[in-house]
């Protein structure tokens, strides 16, 4: 019987620890790769723009902020592990300013990698304004899109207030300072001014869409909602397909850029 040397025992433990460390490293690498694949769809980052759009850094069940979406677009654009971006849009629209802020970040992202839009149930008004700036747009046959236009709603509750016995007096510094108050209807001059603001915002909106998509103004200037299938015929979208189709399309665009 030979008594093993303490030195040989320690050497065996050293090699065992090295092997275990190597196995652990392999497991970690595979876990990171799996996480990356699951979250970026083989190099494609999916960003969701869902709910009513307004400016700010927030995301709730029914609204989303321009800074929240824009920051994600910029992060994906600067991420070397992301080859393309898919913006999943399911929104009725929102404010023109929110759309313009997101567009600025989308244009930045497009300088780095392809940005593809995948429309869900709805991508109308300001949500279409954003979508028009994508490299490619996918929609389902019954996606509701279009609704290219601007609306400003004023509510006159003076009748109800009078019935309740309320008497409201405004002390103001200028004729238009209380424009939009619910205690009275708009004056004729206020209606003219409100229409001017709406018209200017609309012209910026529709001219931008026409430049991005090469669409005839007469096809969209009535502000109607358009089905995805009809939107394809009018060149509002590029292809019918779901989110997976958009991801595959984004991957193809990324390959073409290499």
DSSP line for 160-186: HHHHTT-------SSTTTTTT-TTSPP
Structural domain contains residue 3: no
> Cα(113)–Cα(257) distance, rounded to whole angstroms?
8
Q: 113: alpha, beta or left, given left = phi > 0 and alpha = psi -120 to 50? A: beta
Structural domain contains residue 196: yes
pLDDT on residue 179: 96
Tens place of pLDDT per residue across the chain (258 aa): 444 555 555 556 666 667 766 677 767 555 555 554 444 578 999 999 999 999 999 999 999 999 999 999 999 999 999 999 999 999 999 999 999 999 999 999 999 999 999 999 999 999 999 999 999 999 999 999 999 999 999 999 999 999 999 989 999 999 999 999 999 999 999 999 999 999 999 999 999 999 999 999 999 999 999 999 999 999 999 999 999 999 999 999 999 987
**Residue 154 sits in the same domain as residue 138:** no
pLDDT on residue 105: 98
pLDDT on residue 1: 42
**Residue 138 sits in the same domain as residue 232:** yes
- Would you name the residues annotated as active-site residues? 125, 177
The two beta strands, 115-124 and 136-139, are: parallel
**Phi, psi (5° rounding) for residue 123?**
-150, 75
**Residue 130 sits in the same domain as residue 211:** no
Length of the chain as a residue count: 258
Name the domain count of the chain.
2
Structural domain contains residue 6: no
Token pair of 89, please? Answer: 């849009």
Structural domain contains residue 46: yes
**Residue 134 sits in the same domain as residue 235:** yes
Domain holding 155, by residue range, is 149-223
SS3 116: strand
**Residue 201 sits in the same domain as residue 237:** no
**Residue 216 sits in the same domain as residue 243:** no
Structural domain contains residue 8: no
**Residue 135 sits in the same domain as residue 21:** yes
Q: How far is CA 170 from the centre of its chain?
A: 40
Residues whose CB is less than 8 angstroms from the CB of residue 58 and which lie 6 or more positions away in sequence, other chains included = 64, 65, 68
**Residue 156 sits in the same domain as residue 208:** yes
Token pair of 231, please? Answer: 């939107």
Structural domain contains residue 51: yes
Residues whose CB is less than 8 angstroms from the CB of residue 79 and which lie 6 or more positions away in sequence, other chains included = 45
**Residue 72 sits in the same domain as residue 199:** no
pTM: 0.84
pLDDT on residue 42: 80
Question: Burial level of 69, CB count in 10 A (0-12/13-18/19+)?
Answer: buried
**Residue 238 sits in the same domain as residue 177:** no
Host H or E run for residue 18: helix 6-40
């Amino acid at each position: 019987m030979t008594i093993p040397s303490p030195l040989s025992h320690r050497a065996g433990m050293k090699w065992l620890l090295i092997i275990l460390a190597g196995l652990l490293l392999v497991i970690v690498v595979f876990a990171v790769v799996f996480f990356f694949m699951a979250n970026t769809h083989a190099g494609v980052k999916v960003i969701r723009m869902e709910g009513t759009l307004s400016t700010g850094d927030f995301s709730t069940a029914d609204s989303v902020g321009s800074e929240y979406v824009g920051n994600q677009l910029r992060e994906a654009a600067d991420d070397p592990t992301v080859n393309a971006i898919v913006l999943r849009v399911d929104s009725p629209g929102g404010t023109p300013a929110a759309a313009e802020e997101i567009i600025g970040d989308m244009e930045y992202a497009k300088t780095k990698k392809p940005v593809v839009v995948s429309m869900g149930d709805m991508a109308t008004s300001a949500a279409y304004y954003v979508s028009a700036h994508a490299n490619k747009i996918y929609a389902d046959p019954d996606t509701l899109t279009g609704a290219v236009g601007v609306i400003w709603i004023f509510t006159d509750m003076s009748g109800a207030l009078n019935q309740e016995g309320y008497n409201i007096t405004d002390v103001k510094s200028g004729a238009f300072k209380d424009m939009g108050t619910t205690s009275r209807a708009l004056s004729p001059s206020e209606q003219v001014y409100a229409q001017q603001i709406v018209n200017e915002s609309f012209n910026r909106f529709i001219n931008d869409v026409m430049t991005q998509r090469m669409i005839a103004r007469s096809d969209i200037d009535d502000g109607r909602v358009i089905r995805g299938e009809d939107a394809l015929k009018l060149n509002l979208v590029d292809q019918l397909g779901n989110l997976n189709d958009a991801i595959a399309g984004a991957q193809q665009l990324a390959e073409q850029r290499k």
